[in-house]
Structure 1
């Protein structure tokens, strides 16, 4: 199976998601959050840095639960930030 390359906006969305999850993790260690989410520390690291720009849905659910963030708030934050960075400047 050949994967279609991600667009620039899809990669940016993955970076925003990772940044939001990293911020929500706060002072907790990656090891603690990864263990609670049931994923490897390396997977969490890749998500937080945007190297996995399209993580599996259930992985996002597990990490969001582990850091106490709702999927709705993640969606809203990623969408709001995307809208502010992709809308043309109208003056």
Structure 2
């Protein structure tokens, strides 16, 4: 399973999102720190979940980072998190 798919699966299980995008932006970082040939090093996550209601932005981001701790330790160099308003 790709890193992108693993991230999507973990976030889906943990947060039951109403919206989830996991975008591999590694190619944009070619030549920069942390880049590896083949990508899967730099990701952007856009997520909406009712579970984030009432949480500060910091708490939301920490929850996502905690859910992906193993991936961050295993080679994901950068993770941009965008928590968006839940869709109906």
Structure exhibiting the larger radius of gyration computed from Cα positions: 1
TM-score (norm 2): 0.35
More helix by share: 1
Q: TM-score, normalised by structure 1?
A: 0.34
